Structure 1
Amino acid sequence: MQTFCKLACFAFSACYHLPLIPLVGCSSHEDHNQFIGHKSMIKGNFHKLSPQMTSNVRVHGLLLWVSMGLLMPAGILSIRMSVKEERGSIRARVFFYLHLTFQMLSVLVATAGAVLSIKNFENSFNNNHQRIGLALYIAIWIQAIMGFLRPHKGKKERSVWYFVHWIVGILISLVGIINIYTGLEAYHKRTLESTRLWTIIFTAQVSFITFLYLFQDKKEYIQEQGVILGNLETITPDQENISQIQNHKDLLPAAPCAKRNALRNLFD
């Protein structure tokens, strides 16, 4: 009887707990799936951009590439080339106006990129790319105003203005190029799209402009070397032997001449 009671109690307990076992398993499995789905949803929202936002990001990057990575270095290169020309010449004026045109276009294009960023992006300035971009935007407008307020030549402040304008321009160009790289990296992290090709193209472009910039210092020297080498005639071995023979004859004493000639040379 006791054994039967124990079996009945065991069967009752099993029947009571049996329906709860699959419920517990399903609940745990369902919670796990919900956690994975929530995690993937957060990850997807972090990386995935809408087509319109992706297009705006690309246009923003292209505008700043053209402004900071192309027009501004080209403007610096053109003013450097104008200094090498004769003062007041047509070529010097052309290079100067090219410098002015490139720099103004650079400011306008950068302004368009900044307006696009303010209008469409969430500018929390919690990353280096946005902070550097804001500082660059302020700096390029200061540089533009300094360009229009340059003192006339001959004044004492002209040299100070030239030094500050030159230093600020170089720094803006260098930091702008660096910020383009940070922008490419931010785009890659945001969209998970590869930016390797664009990085290679931009690096090749910057390297080419840097080569032209440094080449200006050696251009005249290289041209002078070509002129000097062009004026020198190539000396063949036969010409060298003839020259040595002539020099040897000049060192020998003169041949004995007639007495009449010797006296004439003495009185002459």
Structure 2
Amino acid sequence: MLLSAAAEYASFSLNMWSLLSLSLVLSLLISPSITLPNGAPENVCNSMLPFHGGGIPPLQTTSPFRITPVTSVVGSGQVLNIDIESFPANVVFKGFMLQARNRFPPNQVVGHFELTDESAVKLINCGGERTTATHTNTQPKKDLTLEWIAPADFKGEIVFNGTIAQDYDKFWVGLVSAPVKVVESGQNPTSVVGISTTRRPPVTTGTPSYVAPTSARIEIVDPIYEGCGVSKGCFGFPEGCVETRNCRAVVATIVQGERYIFEMKSGYNRPAYIAVGLSNDAKMGDDSVIECVPEQGTIKAYSSWTFAGPYGVSRQGIAQNFIQLKRSTFEDGVIYCQVERDSMTTVKGQRFDLINGKYHLLLATGSSADSTHVSYHDIGRHVSGVPLALAEVGHVQGSSKLLLRLHGAFMLTAWIGTASLGILLARYFRQTWVGSQLCGKDQWFAWHRFLMVITWLLTMAGFVIIFVEIGGWSQAQNPHAILGTVTTVLCFLQPIGAYFRPHPGTKRRPLFNWLHWLGGNVAHIVGIVAIFFAVKLQKAELPEWLDFILVAFVAFHVFMHLIFSVLSWIQIGGCVSERRNSQRVTSFPMADMTPSRTSMSSADRKQDAAFSGFRKVMLFFYILIIAAFVIALVVIAVLAPIEDAVESIKNQIMN
């Protein structure tokens, strides 16, 4: 009895230690969600897009807020008051970002603000000093007046472009005021036609009705999207971003006779480069690349070459005379360039004929580069689905992500679902449903074997699929690939070891039991940690808030193990009657893990162990919650990026 209790205590301690260690590791992996209660940072000067919740999209509905200049004409060097108002008047906002821009391309930020209320407003530098106003806190605001100074050397029309946040997950981007004409100083400004110069409309009793803004919204279109699908081919990521004109990176191909021009732009996450490659096989390796790289504030264009093994890209030994930088800008972390390439070139012995040939486009952007090459595309990468004749104009679709999504769905189902349930059954349900068998085996063993076979099949399929998708070893600076391989190897060995397990009662059987238990639990823990690291992979396009769902799963899984372990310890501690104690079977007897009629007396097998009814209820509850976790995670992985999928569904419903 002492040996049995010691083995049980060791098993319990190791299991709890594994679960608690996993919880600690996961808590360290999750980077906290940092809000911006003190105003917008300068790295969003161009997009004016809040990074709320790892990527909550702005609302597309009509905003209850409007930006109102008090006059339609202002003299250069003079002060203009701008009101941020809400209609109805009782609607409050918590944050804002406002700047004046030249109404016509290139839509530059102009003028500067005066700081009039330090408790509510602060000024940041976007292409110039004090050019942008933002909030200092998230206290509710009903209306706000700002002072803007027109530039002394500017004449023309401007509009005020703003982002206004009613709450953390409810904000509008791209709100535009009525145009204001900046004239030579000394001319008399006039009132804006059709816009009240009062701070807000008269307050009425009762609930005021919504009043739509009287000024028409002016849509400022990024010039790179003009002519997409009509006069030039455009390709960007995430998928569908060209239609919404909101790409993280985009390339446009313009063909004018025998002139082939590549127009590229990226400002997402302050990239260190943007590059486009021409590929024969849609995979990295033996591709001719054009890079646009900021160096000391100016854009430089380079040609380079990719290598398949080991993966990499280099400019060394590559001629630079067949490309020519035509136009470029680098403002507020946004890279823009136009590069003309010769229609006929030979690079590394491979001929590129842009007139007669068809090529896949490889679009990539990353956060680092040096003097000889660009680094890994950690910000984003996308590949066109079919080879393209660059002279053909139309919408360019990306390559299929079916295999990538299947890999995610298979691994999530295996290690969040079937493996978790299979391990739980083997550990705590050996003396439940006594006398009931399935396919000649005890219920717990039959279901455990079935679930682990499903886990094995899904894992092997997912492992093969991702190698086919990537075409080799992952080049991402992320331990997900290593952890996934360790999980797959352990999973592969488990059924082989089980097939050759020693017979119950033999000398080596306890050693097998320990090794089988250890291999299964280590594979489960490493598999879950690998899933956490998958959230960080750019290619997966998973939202950062997915970490919280995974943490909730781990907490629930640990909680259920604690409940079942406490029940087992109550049995071992003698809190049940001696009659029941005489027929108990420990929750994880390391002496024998297989159903054997010789391993316990016939009296032991006539009835379920104590608390079996409660165990069955808790098992049913566990299956429901685990199924909900699996469904939610698989849906998010398959539809990734989920925010874009949800927005697309909303638009389809509204239309």
TM-score range, shorter chain: 0.5 to 0.7
Question: Residue 197 and residue 53 in structure 1: after superposition, are their counterparts in 2 closer, same or farther (change >3 A)?
Answer: farther
Mapped partners of 2:502, 2:474: distance in 1: 37
Is the CA contact 1:125–1:131 (under 8 Å) kept in the aligned structure 2?
Answer: no
Aligned AA (1:67)? A
Q: Is residue 214 of structure 1 aligned with residue 565 of structure 2?
A: no
Q: Which residue of 2 aligns with 1:95?
A: 444
Is the CA contact 1:77–1:212 (under 8 Å) kept in the aligned structure 2?
Answer: no
In the TM superposition, 1:114-193 aligns within 5 A as 114-126=463-475, 127-186=478-537, 189-190=538-539, 193=541
Q: Which residue of 1 aligns with 2:550?
A: 202
Mapped partners of 2:470, 2:400: distance in 1: 8
| TM-superposed deviation, 1:116 | 1.1
| TM-superposed deviation, 1:214 | 2.2
Is the CA contact 2:326–2:338 (under 8 Å) kept in the aligned structure 1?
Answer: no
Is the CA contact 1:123–1:130 (under 8 Å) kept in the aligned structure 2?
Answer: no
Question: Residue 57 and residue 37 in structure 1: after superposition, are their counterparts in 2 closer, same or farther (change >3 A)?
Answer: farther
Mapped partners of 1:52, 1:67: distance in 2: 26
Question: Residue 63 and residue 38 in structure 1: after superposition, are their counterparts in 2 closer, same or farther (change >3 A)?
Answer: farther
Is the CA contact 1:74–1:209 (under 8 Å) kept in the aligned structure 2?
Answer: no
Question: Residue 125 and residue 30 in structure 1: after superposition, are their counterparts in 2 closer, same or farther (change >3 A)?
Answer: closer
Mapped partners of 2:455, 2:404: distance in 1: 19
Mapped partners of 2:336, 2:402: distance in 1: 30
Is the CA contact 2:418–2:455 (under 8 Å) kept in the aligned structure 1?
Answer: yes
Mapped partners of 1:156, 1:194: distance in 2: 49
Question: Residue 94 and residue 57 in structure 1: after superposition, are their counterparts in 2 closer, same or farther (change >3 A)?
Answer: same
Mapped partners of 2:456, 2:501: distance in 1: 18
Mapped partners of 1:221, 1:156: distance in 2: 27
Aligned AA (1:43)? T
| TM-superposed deviation, 1:52 | 4.1
Mapped partners of 1:226, 1:198: distance in 2: 43
Q: Which residue of 2 aligns with 1:15?
A: none
Mapped partners of 1:79, 1:206: distance in 2: 19
| TM-superposed deviation, 1:202 | 2.7
Q: Which residue of 2 aligns with 1:20?
A: none
**Cα deviations by residue, 1:80-136 (Å, 9 ceiling, x for unpaired):** 1233548x6438911111111111000001111112112111332444211222222
Higher helix share: 1
Please give the secondary structure, in 1, of the residue aligned with 2:461: helix
Mapped partners of 2:555, 2:443: distance in 1: 25
Is the CA contact 1:184–1:199 (under 8 Å) kept in the aligned structure 2?
Answer: yes
Structure with larger Rg: 1
Cα-Cα RMSD: 3.4
In the TM superposition, 1:36-51 aligns within 5 A as 36-37=336-337, 42-43=364-365, 46=377, 47-50=380-383, 51=398
Mapped partners of 2:530, 2:422: distance in 1: 19
| TM-superposed deviation, 1:63 | 0.9
| TM-superposed deviation, 1:68 | 1.8
Q: Is residue 59 of structure 1 aligned with residue 406 of structure 2?
A: yes
| TM-superposed deviation, 1:49 | 3.0
From 40, 61, 79, the equivalent of 2:426 is 79
Is the CA contact 1:71–1:105 (under 8 Å) kept in the aligned structure 2?
Answer: yes
Mapped partners of 1:166, 1:71: distance in 2: 16
What TM-score, normalized to structure 2? 0.27
Runs of 4 or more above 6 Å deviation: 222-227
Q: Mean alpha-carbon deviation: is it higher for 111-120 or for 127-136? A: 127-136
Q: Is residue 104 of structure 1 aligned with residue 453 of structure 2?
A: yes
Please give the secondary structure, in 2, of the residue aligned with 1:59: helix
Mapped partners of 1:42, 1:180: distance in 2: 24
Mapped partners of 1:69, 1:38: distance in 2: 47
Please give the secondary structure, in 1, of the residue aligned with 2:365: helix
Higher strand share: 2
**Cα deviations by residue, 1:45-103 (Å, 9 ceiling, x for unpaired):** 941435544343222111111112221121110101233548x6438911111111111
| TM-superposed deviation, 1:204 | 2.1
Mapped partners of 1:151, 1:38: distance in 2: 70
Q: Percent identity at matched positions?
A: 21
Is the CA contact 2:490–2:520 (under 8 Å) kept in the aligned structure 1?
Answer: no
Is the CA contact 1:151–1:158 (under 8 Å) kept in the aligned structure 2?
Answer: yes
Is the CA contact 1:68–1:106 (under 8 Å) kept in the aligned structure 2?
Answer: yes
Mapped partners of 1:52, 1:84: distance in 2: 52
Q: Which has the higher contact order (CA 8 A, sep 6+)?
A: 1
Is the CA contact 1:140–1:172 (under 8 Å) kept in the aligned structure 2?
Answer: yes
| TM-superposed deviation, 1:178 | 0.2
Is the CA contact 1:82–1:93 (under 8 Å) kept in the aligned structure 2?
Answer: no
Q: Mean alpha-carbon deviation: is it higher for 197-206 or for 158-167? A: 197-206
Mapped partners of 2:329, 2:471: distance in 1: 32
Aligned AA (2:468)? K
| TM-superposed deviation, 1:225 | 6.8
Is the CA contact 2:487–2:524 (under 8 Å) kept in the aligned structure 1?
Answer: no
Is the CA contact 2:407–2:465 (under 8 Å) kept in the aligned structure 1?
Answer: yes
Is the CA contact 2:535–2:543 (under 8 Å) kept in the aligned structure 1?
Answer: yes
Aligned AA (1:90)? S
Question: Residue 134 and residue 89 in structure 1: after superposition, are their counterparts in 2 closer, same or farther (change >3 A)?
Answer: same
